[in-house]
Amino acid sequence: MGGLKKIYQTLCAHYGDLDWWPADTPFEVMVGAVLTQNTAWTNVEKAFQGFDGHLSPERILNLPMEELQRIIRPAGFYKQKSQYLKAVTKWFMRYDCDINAIKNRPLPDIRSELLQVRGIGNETADSILLYAFDFPTFVVDAYTMRLFERFPVDAGKTYMEVKSFCETELPRDKEVYGHFHALIVHNGKEHCKKKMDCAGCPLKTSCKKKLFEGAG
Ligand code: SF4
């Protein structure tokens, strides 16, 4: 069995199903994906609370920039993020906020279109496409890179190399991609942190970093 599948199965067996990306609508996923750039999810939650339950594309577009900045301030980088939110909302409005119209587009086309939107890089685009619109596109983040470096998984160095490695190794399935990313993030927060805490890590029996350094 390939290293990647083994990691997936081990994490699955240990953590089970994770009720992840806490958002009620695809638009909330989009907003969360922008707000979580360079910050912890707890700060995103505080920013969400500032909308007082009224989060809609119309509201984001109509809010004066200063007011939007005040609401999302807890998520940090609020001046940039307010502009990014307006830009991604405009993109969504181009489809009349019709989820199915977006889902019916070919993945490479919609992905490159999203990457043209201000503030949307690879990770944010893939998070939106996977978690809001159910496209089978693998999300790579800092937790993924750190785990692969330590375990190690020879998946490549750049975002796109690692993404295509994972997509080749795993079944092309949005459920698998979404769950695996959630598991990697979860384990990255629990154990494979900057300062690794290997003692209870489910991967420790096969992880070379742990074996060679005797960490944890
Ligand atoms: S055993 Fe340690 S280094 Fe390896 S994945 Fe777990 S926490 Fe990370």
Same domain flag for 41 and 97 = yes
Same domain flag for 128 and 143 = no
Backbone angles phi, psi at 144, to 5 degrees: -65, -50
Axis-axis angle for helices 174-190, 3-15 (nearest 10): 70
Contact 56, 28 (CB under 8 A): no
One pLDDT digit (tens) per residue for the chain, 216 residues:
568 999 999 999 999 988 777 778 999 999 999 999 999 999 999 999 999 999 999 999 999 999 999 999 999 999 999 999 999 999 999 999 999 999 999 999 999 999 999 999 999 999 999 999 999 999 999 999 999 999 999 999 999 999 999 999 999 999 999 999 999 999 999 999 999 999 999 999 999 987 666 555
Domain residue limits at 53: 26-132
CA of 6 to the centre of ligand 1 (A): 14
Atom of ligand 1 nearest to the CA of 146: 8
To test ligand 1's pocket by mutation, which of 147, 187, 190, 191 has the most ligand atoms within 8 angstroms of CB?
191
Same domain flag for 186 and 125 = no
Task: Retrieve residue 170's tokens.
Answer: 């795993």
Burial class (CB in 10 A: 0-12, 13-18, 19+), 9: exposed
Q: What is the pTM of this model?
A: 0.95
Same domain flag for 67 and 32 = yes
As for how many domains the chain has, the answer is 2
Domain termination site, one of 82, 97, 132: 132
CA of 182 to the centre of ligand 1 (A): 16
Q: Is the CB of 150 under 6 A from ligand 1?
A: yes
Picking from 94, 151, 171, 87, the residue whose alpha carbon sits closest to that of residue 121 is: 87
